Amino acid sequence: MNMIIHNTSITIAVKINPAQCHRLRHIYSFWSSIKRTLACPSCTSSTHQKILLARPNKHAKQQHPERVSACEAMAAPAASALPLDGRVALVTGGSRGIGREVCAHLASLGARVVVNYASNSANADAFAADLNSRGAAALPRAVAVRADVSDPAAVRALFDRAEEAFGTPPHIVVACAGLLESKYPSLADTAVEDFDAMLAVNVRGTFLVCREAANRIPAGAGGRVVTFSSSILGTLLPGYAAYTATNGAVEAMTRIMAKEVAAKGMTANVVAPGPVRTELFMAGKDEAFVRKVEERSMGRIAETTDVAPVVAFLVSDAAAWVNGQVIRVNGGFA
């Protein structure tokens, strides 16, 4: 076995005698012990490097304690790398409610985040600044970008801005922007204008964002798309006819998309929360309604922090085999 050690890489050349194939197991074990460890620049001889690149053993610690300590210190950052380091996440509706919590959670896992918002620039900019203040990196971890998700040109510009900010197309796209009519009219009393407004954001907006994601996320990049529906589809409550219809459309569209992008190594899934304590949900609700919801939802209404970790799982490497699914996060509500 010949080993060549550079400053940041290791090259191993192995000649295998067919009669000694059983040694492959030991070679693999040796390689596994060093492949995640950086070479130590303070070790000048090949003997020292071989000792210190492997997991520190008793001999290494006795003979070269100062070098073992240096190597262990260098290896620590690699071992503690965050799961979403190096990935860019674009979250629509990211400045408020569930979308805001999703942005914060993904950023805490190492992702660089594009916070999309519709109108309140002061709120979105302050949130992006707060996310940037939490990290030690000199470069920004978050940018706020205004865009109307129902406008095709605005959605294209949103993805362009994400790539300009971070030098790469998004790896993760979360379509969280949504609209709910707070008067909760019956179908007979639903105004066409209100129906069209929900359709524009919830369905057309999700379609445009998903279409752009399917075209922009490179094949083999571990792309993840998460859309948002609602557990209202499991309850079919009166007063939610138009809103429920938009959620049904989102779920069907996302599950079909999942099949279409699978060959690129991408996944597409839906998160369908139950009642969550957000401005969107609480608008127009009285205490009696809230108590009924709590009785059906493990004694409380969900917080945004109950939903964001589910999104984080779906966009992680651990969920590579989860595709085309609807995840109902509702505490048993539906």
For 324: left if phi > 0, alpha if psi spans -120 to 50, otherwise beta; the answer is: left
pLDDT at 292 (0 to 100): 85
Q: Encoding tokens for residue 142?
A: 């978050």
Range of the domain at 14: 2-79
Are 303 and 230 part of one and the same domain? yes
Are 285 and 303 part of one and the same domain? yes
Are 31 and 174 part of one and the same domain? no
Are 225 and 318 part of one and the same domain? yes
| Separation between Cα atoms, residue 80 and residue 76, nearest integer Å | 6
Q: Taking the C-alpha atoms of 262, 243, 297 and 93 in order, what is their torsion angle to the nearest 10 degrees? A: 60
Are 160 and 112 part of one and the same domain? yes
| Separation between Cα atoms, residue 45 and residue 63, nearest integer Å | 14
Q: Active-site positions?
A: 243
Q: Does residue 41 fall inside a structural domain?
A: yes
Do residues 144 and 158 touch, judged by C-beta distance below 8 A? Answer: no
CATH number at residue 181: 3.40.50.720
Q: What is the pTM of this model?
A: 0.76
The residue out of 19, 45, 79 marking a domain boundary is: 79
Are 111 and 15 part of one and the same domain? no
Are 70 and 170 part of one and the same domain? no
Are 105 and 32 part of one and the same domain? no
Q: Does residue 46 fall inside a structural domain?
A: yes
Are 75 and 182 part of one and the same domain? no
The residue out of 79, 109, 140 marking a domain boundary is: 79
pLDDT at 334 (0 to 100): 81
Are 93 and 218 part of one and the same domain? yes
Burial 6-36 (b: 16+ CB within 10 A, else e): eeeebeeeeeeeeeeeeeeeeeeebeeebee
Q: Does residue 334 fall inside a structural domain?
A: no
Q: Does residue 122 fall inside a structural domain?
A: yes
The residue out of 79, 101, 133 marking a domain boundary is: 79
Are 51 and 126 part of one and the same domain? no
Decide the pairing of beta strands 267-273 and 326-329: parallel
pLDDT at 137 (0 to 100): 63
Phi (first) and psi of residue 67, to 5 degrees: -75, -35
pLDDT at 65 (0 to 100): 56
Please count the structural domains in the chain: 2
Orientation angle between helical segments 206-216 and 152-166, nearest 10 degrees? 40
Are 143 and 25 part of one and the same domain? no
Residues of the chain with pLDDT under 50: 7-56, 60, 68, 71, 73-79
